[in-house]
Amino acid sequence: MTHGPETLPALAALACPNCGQALDQAGRRLSCPAGHSFDLAKQGYAPLLAPGSNATTGDTADQVAAREDFLGSGVYDPLMAAVANASLTDAPGVIVEPGCGTGHYLAAALAADASREGIGLDTSKYALRRCARRLTGDDEPRRAAGTRWRLAAVLADAWRTLPIRDDAAAAVLNVFAPRNADEIARILHPGGVLVVLTPRQDHLRELVDALDLLSVDPAKPQRTADQLGSMFEAERTDELHYPIGLGRTEILKLVGMGPSARHLDPAALAAAVAALPDKVEVTVAATVTRWRGKGS
């Protein structure tokens, strides 16, 4: 098959969500040899939900808009750079991010390795619209030339069988998102890497205290290690710890994109943010760990 501008990037790595076989593309329709077919959404993402998926878990339009603005401001660029750096590998395959959101981290990883294509999976259609449009570093000239981009956005539930072929991923990114270790192990190439970003307990500490946000569970790093430790070996860990200065608008976006957005009363939050100083110094604290499959 020739790859025209309309061909979905990373197509060879995708699998039918019903039977797991390879997908082919004709126009805007993807189909497998068993005759299951899926039409690309007009916003550009591929709807590949497995039977029984829970597609209601995704971020809302407001959360996604807040995430797009906040991540676009650049204050998390060091986190993206660390994830991108840890995802570099010689293994063959694509870069996959379950729970990719707006695709900022995936795009950073693709920008760091111009030879790769990527697949972002999410249950939020609002996030996938952004992800499907996201340029990946060197894509601006591609867009001008009308050639294809390097990133496929896919509607899929991270807790179900992923619509990805066995061993197809050179790298899997897991950034503030659901983590299905069995499925990650299945899709990861034996030489591939799993890159996990987890917030540390003092992440956004100043705002957690001032605004009564959900805090990071102190047992989380241990839980992550326990969950992954039977299948993967930690190869490298980067600790990131730096201050950012945020005004009230940025703080509202940061809160709006996170898990607390669903728990807080908007009026109480607005009042608490109004009472903050004009500029608040906030701690960013996260760990980026690179894991490899045991025995690889």
139 binds ligand SAM (CB under 6 A): no
For tokens 């970003």, the residue is 197
The binder of 34, among Zn ion, ligand SAM, none, by C-beta within 5 to 8 A per type, is Zn ion
- Closest to Zn ion by CB, 15 vs 84, is 15
The string of DSSP letters for 48-107 reads -PPTT--TT-SPPHHHHHHHHHHHHTTTTHHHHHHHHHHT--SS-SEEEEET-TTSHHHH
Write down the least CB distance from residue 80 to ligand SAM, Å.
9
| CA–CA distances in Å: residue 261 to residues 98, 126, 127 | 21, 16, 16
25 binds Zn ion (CB under 5 A): no
Tell me, residue by residue from 82 to 111, as one string, x for binding to ligand SAM by CB under 6 A and - for no binding: ----------------xxxxx-xx------
Size of the site for Zn ion (CB under 5 A): 6
For tokens 């082919």, the residue is 24
66 binds ligand SAM (CB under 6 A): no
Which range of residues in 16-24, 54-62, 183-191, 222-230 is near ligand SAM by CB under 6 A?
54-62
- Closest to ligand SAM by CB, 49 vs 228, is 49
Spatial separation of the C-alpha atoms in residues 87 and 60, rounded to whole Å: 28
The binder of 99, among Zn ion, ligand SAM, none, by C-beta within 5 to 8 A per type, is ligand SAM
Which residues, in sequence order, are CB contacts of 84 under 8 Å at separation 6+? 105, 108, 109, 111, 112
175 binds ligand SAM (CB under 6 A): yes
Write down the least CB distance from residue 12 to Zn ion, Å.
15
Q: What is the CA radius of gyration of the chain?
A: 19
Is 4 strand, coil or helix? coil
Size of the site for ligand SAM (CB under 6 A): 24
155 binds ligand SAM (CB under 6 A): no
The angle, 0 to 180 degrees and rounded to 10, between the axes of the packed helices 125-133 and 61-72 is 30
Q: How far from each other are the two terminal CA atoms of the chain, in whole angstroms?
A: 32
- Closest to Zn ion by CB, 16 vs 94, is 16
Cβ–Cβ under 8 Å, residues 48 and 164: no
23 binds Zn ion (CB under 5 A): no
- Closest to ligand SAM by CB, 93 vs 101, is 101
Write down the least CB distance from residue 276 to ligand SAM, Å.
23
Going through the chain in order, the beta strands assigned E by DSSP cover 24-26, 29-31, 37-39, 46-47, 94-98, 118-122, 151-155, 169-175, 188-199, 232-246, 280-293
287 binds Zn ion (CB under 5 A): no
18 binds Zn ion (CB under 5 A): yes
Q: Which two tokens stand for residue 126?
A: 């609002």
Residues that bind Zn ion (CB under 5 A): 16, 18-19, 32, 34, 36
Residues that bind ligand SAM (CB under 6 A): 57-59, 67, 71, 98-102, 104-105, 121-124, 127, 157-159, 175-178
